[in-house]
Structure 1
């Protein structure tokens, strides 16, 4: 992955208005960090604050300002700080317009700053030296690295939003969790990394959702397909049947988009031949 262009000192002012570079890195961090960890004592916030030239308290405050723009938070009666600026809103809208581009840009910039501060590369940068990529050409290698950065951003954002738990079973072992796309990756490039296009599911629930064996209503309740309900498998009966009509556990932010859910339902009923 080529290094980003050198950034001018003005990109990271220590006081006054936040620069776009600072705001982008702060929002990328907001997306990937559990809501309960958006405080100045979090070591990750301390580190990022150092990288961007702000204090941990100032960064934590900015993160909570972003929360005040999040409908998933304000819609439940929770509120962030009321000091969100027009620039904060611009960054919010910029990410929603280009999740992929800004996720990659922020990761590259963050790694550049880590290098400048003498910090070790994180896993997403270290993947460039993965022996498994040794046989790939520079262009193919670059494509694979970028793909992993995007996938890592989406997984972190979705798992953080759902508190690291499957929204149906409550399973919390990260090894068994999948950041599942509501509208498949291949079908909607613009929303591949949009956390509102994701559900945190156990591996078995992810597979069933991907195969359209169940879907969700606009009220976020589970709708089993006729095919799944007709199964004679005892395990299917035990795991899935009791979930019919039950609500999923909603995320702390980036609630599933009604538009994405409607598209999944339409595909599910079409696949099963339903007329609902």
Structure 2
């Protein structure tokens, strides 16, 4: 059994990245992702799960839902938490890069944190569109996708479709204009590619109860069966979000709604 040892700042930074890629109910020593991370850190799964539960005690998104973590977070835990959330554009990519190095993910590989399968490294699919972004941005985007998709239980929040290849981590506040919220899981929705496109273009949004609101511009197309089946049947339905998930930030959704209906 690995001996007890102090956590380093780098270890806590990568562990916090994993924390945000799992929901509270998955923070236990039997979780595959935690078992794999523990092996790389030379620690027991139980000790890693305990550290993630310490982080949970610092999480305001969980406190809002009445979920408590495990007391006993150290001063260094608190420092790493503050740094991670005050400088996400800098620290999140660092966390992801450490994780990628642990799992020997090369530059042409994708790393995914999959709660049911573990941490997987795969070659990028052939035909992937290559967007010209820096390595730092790519690491941040990889983290954000896992954080948002896993926060929604790996399924579209509208339809419940669980096919990961068809899902998008949608930004509520646009990536280009809201740099401070780019990597905030509460600025993300897990949507199918179709519903992501509709959300991005202001054809759908969500109210303060997380119910789908459809724009007048899209309703004009309801006589078309394909449009009605994909949207009309979900109007007024609440986003499907796990009980222990971090809920989308309502203020961000209000901003999204105002930008849509200002175009009427």
3-state SS, counterpart of residue 200 of structure 1: strand
1:234 aligns to 2:218 (yes or no): no
Separation of aligned partners in 2, 1:110 and 1:216: 34
TM-score by length of 1: 0.78
Q: Counterparts of 1:108-123 in structure 2 under 5 Å?
A: 108-112=97-101, 114=102, 120-121=104-105, 123=109
Q: Distance between the aligned counterparts of 1:173 and 1:37, measured in 2?
A: 20
Give the Cα–Cα distance (whole angstroms) in 2 for the partners of residues 220 and 86 of structure 1. Answer: 36
* 1:245 match: 236
Shift of 1:38: 2.4
Write the distance in 1 (CA, Å) between the matches of 2:224 and 2:58.
Answer: 45
Once residues 177 and 228 of structure 2 are traced to their aligned partners in structure 1, the CA distance between those partners, rounded to angstroms, is 31
Cα distance in structure 2, aligned partners of 1:144 and 1:233: 42
8 Å Cα contact 1:180-1:200 kept in structure 2: yes
Which of 69, 83, 96 matches 1:94?
83
CA positional deviation for 1:61: 0.6
- The alpha-carbon distance between structure 1 residues 131 and 226, as it changes in their structure 2 partners (threshold 3 A), is closer
How do 1:135-154 residues align onto structure 2 when only pairs under 5 Å count? 143-154=133-144
Whole-Å Cα distance in 2 between the matches of residues 75 and 33 of structure 1?
A: 17
Q: How does 1:61-72 map to 2 (within 5 A)?
A: 61-72=50-61
Q: Is the 8 A contact 1:35 1:161 kept in 2?
A: no
How big is the shift at 1:268? 0.7
Q: Which has the higher strand share?
A: 2
* Structure number with larger C-alpha Rg: 1
Contact preservation (8 Å) 1:182, 1:197: yes
For 2:186 and 2:48, the matched residues in 1 are separated by 24
Q: How does 1:13-24 map to 2 (within 5 A)?
A: 15=4, 17-24=6-13
Deviations 1:77-131 (A, max 9, x none): 433222333433333332222222112111222344x2xxxx6436348899999
Residues 51-90 of structure 1: matches in 2 within 5 Å? Answer: 51-90=40-79
Shift of 1:167: 0.9
Q: Equivalent residue for 2:115?
A: none
Equivalences, count = 249
* Residues 179 and 111 of structure 1, relative CA distance in 2, 3 Å threshold: closer
Unaligned residue ranges in structure 1 (runs of 5+):
1-13
Counterpart of 1:10 in structure 2 is: none
Mean Cα displacement is larger for which, 207-216 or 71-80? 71-80
Q: Give, in angstroms, the shift of residue 56 of structure 1.
A: 1.8
**For residues 127 and 44 of structure 1, what CA distance do their matches in structure 2 show?**
16
Match of 1:270 in 2: 262
Q: TM-score, normalised on structure 2?
A: 0.81
Note closer, same or farther for the CA distance 1:175–1:110 as it changes in structure 2 (3 Å cut): closer
Q: Deviations over 1:245-269 (max 9, x none)?
A: 2221235333211221121111111
- Specify the alignment match of 1:255 in structure 2: 247
**261-270 or 26-35, larger mean C-alpha shift:** 26-35
Task: Give, in whole Å, the separation in 1 of the partners of 2:105 and 2:232.
Answer: 46
1:38 equivalent in alignment to 2:27: yes
Query: What is aligned with 1:9?
Result: none
After TM superposition, list the pairs within 5 Å mapping 1:204-215 onto structure 2: 204-215=194-205
Alpha-carbon distance in structure 2 between the residues aligned to 1:238 and 1:130: 30
